[in-house]
Amino acid sequence: MSSEMSPIDRAKYAAAVKAVDYVQDGMKVGLGTGSTAFWMIKRLAERVRDEGLRVTGVPTSSRTAALAREEGIALTTLDEAGWLDLTIDGADEVDGDLNLIKGGGAALLHEKIVATASDRMIVIADAAKQVAALGSFPLPVEVIPFGWQTTQKLVEELLEGMDVLGREVQVRQMGGMKLLTDQKNHILDLHLKHIGNPRQLAMVLNQIPGVVENGLFVDICDVLILGQADGRVTVRDLDAGAASEVAADLTEPDNIFAEGGE
């Protein structure tokens, strides 16, 4: 394993290695977006090259699609695939009930659609992403550009009646401009500090006119894989019940670490 990797990247890679073990020949796989998904795509491409693994990927963002093509993974669209065997993606936060906050990479809309069109969703993350309660990471909400300021005011009014500790809402910027998602929408980041009822908040946010989707993933994750810098991973599979700890094989050629994620 490359000594140039940071501890956080080693943890992410350990989770990615374990997750790719779930991929079987002939599967249709949703490919997530973000720094941890980056390592998953790298590892999946290795299996394609070294083992002749046949997979078809459905990317959740233009960045993921570009990386997967560069790595030699065959791609298709979700409409062409119809239904997926599994999706592997990262998370910005995950609680004890496997509820997630996603959208730090501004791909939450595609990520949620792809994940819910899969038999199983595997979430990979470094162990620091596990929290007692969601909310420390700002909750992304994707909104259409038309009337976005009105939508923001409606979101702010809604939060007054929610079980949260903060109510600051900011439109996400990039390079001094409002960020545009792959669907040419904006992202509102909700700084809530603590979310007491993720399920309720997810439902009511999506009822606001102008809101396309929110970054709360409730009852979507089936398997959580948390990586440690020493190569250990903790796997929590809802079908299996109790969590288990195993060691991932991190003995890889140095060239896999030549690029970094987001």
Same domain assignment for residues 252 and 123: yes
- Reading the block at residue 260, the tokens are 């970094």
How far from 199 is each of 31, 90, 135, 147, 205, CA to CA, in Å? 25, 20, 13, 26, 10
Average pLDDT, the chain: 92
Predicted pLDDT at 23: 98
The confidence score (pLDDT) of residue 1 equals 42
76 in any annotated domain: yes
* 26 labelled binding-site residue: no
Is 213 a residue of the active site? no
Give the number of domains in the chain. Answer: 2
- To the question of whether residue 91 is assigned a binding role by annotation, the answer is yes
Residues 160 and 34 in one domain: no
CATH number of the structural domain spanning residue 153: 3.30.70.260
Q: Which domain holds residue 189?
A: 139-214
Do 72 and 191 fall within a single domain? no
Out of 111, 160, 168, 259, the active site residue is: 111
Residue 1 domain flag: no
8 Å CB contact between 102 and 89: yes
Q: Are residues 146 and 245 in the same domain?
A: no
Q: Does 33 belong to an annotated binding site?
A: yes
Residue 231 marked ligand-binding = no
92 assigned binding-site residue: yes
Q: What does the block give as tokens for 87?
A: 């999706």
Beta partners for 164?
195
Render pLDDT for 36-93 as a digit per residue (tens, 0 to 9): 999 999 999 999 999 999 999 999 999 999 999 999 999 999 999 999 999 999 999 9
Q: Kindly state the tokens that stand for 214.
A: 């929110």
Task: Determine the pLDDT at residue 191.
Answer: 98
**Would you say 105 is a known binding-site residue?**
yes
Q: Is there a contact between 233 and 14 (Cβ–Cβ < 8 Å)?
A: yes
63 and 45: one domain?
A: yes
Strands (E), the chain: 28-31, 56-59, 74-75, 84-89, 93-94, 100-101, 118-126, 139-143, 168-171, 173-174, 177-178, 186-191, 211-214, 216-217, 223-227, 232-237, 244-247
Q: What is the pLDDT of residue 16?
A: 97
Residue 182 has pLDDT above 90, yes or no: yes
Residue with tokens 């979507």: 220
- Domain shared by 172 and 74, yes or no: no
Q: Are residues 179 and 234 in the same domain?
A: no
- Is 129 known to sit in a ligand binding site? yes
Q: Per-residue confidence at 243, pLDDT binned at 50, 70, 90?
A: low
Task: Give me the pLDDT at residue 262, please.
Answer: 32
Instruction: List pLDDT tens digits, range 125-163.
Output: 999 999 999 999 999 999 999 999 999 999 999 999 999
pTM of the model: 0.91
Amino acid type, 231: G
Q: Is residue 172 part of a domain?
A: yes
Structural domain includes residue 2: no
- Same domain? For 196 and 240 the reply is no
- Higher-confidence position of 262 and 27: 27
Residue 251 in this model has a pLDDT that exceeds 90: no
Query: Are 148 and 243 part of one and the same domain?
Result: no
Q: What is the pLDDT of residue 240?
A: 76
> Where residue 65 sits, what CATH number does that domain have?
3.40.50.1360
- Residues 145 and 190 occupy one common structural domain: yes
The pLDDT tens digits for 190-235 are: 999 999 999 999 999 999 999 999 999 999 999 999 999 999 999 9
Do 120 and 160 fall within a single domain? Answer: no
Please tell me which residue, 160 or 262, carries the higher pLDDT value: 160
Helix axis angle, 148-159 to 198-205, nearest 10°: 150
Closest C-alpha to 100, from 229, 199, 238: 199
How confident is the model at residue 239, as a pLDDT?
Answer: 83
Query: Looking at the domain assignment, is residue 166 inside a domain?
Result: yes
* In a domain? residue 17: yes
Per-residue pLDDT, 258: 37
Q: Are 187 and 152 in contact (CB under 8 A)?
A: no
- Check the CA dihedral 114-203-159-155 and report its sign: positive
Query: Annotated binding residue at 104?
Result: yes
Q: Do 156 and 53 reside in the same domain of the chain?
A: no
Residue 239 lies in a domain: yes
pLDDT of residue 2: 47
Pairing mode of beta strands 168-171, 186-191: antiparallel
pLDDT at 261: 33
**CA distance linking residue 259 with residue 256, whole number of Å:** 7
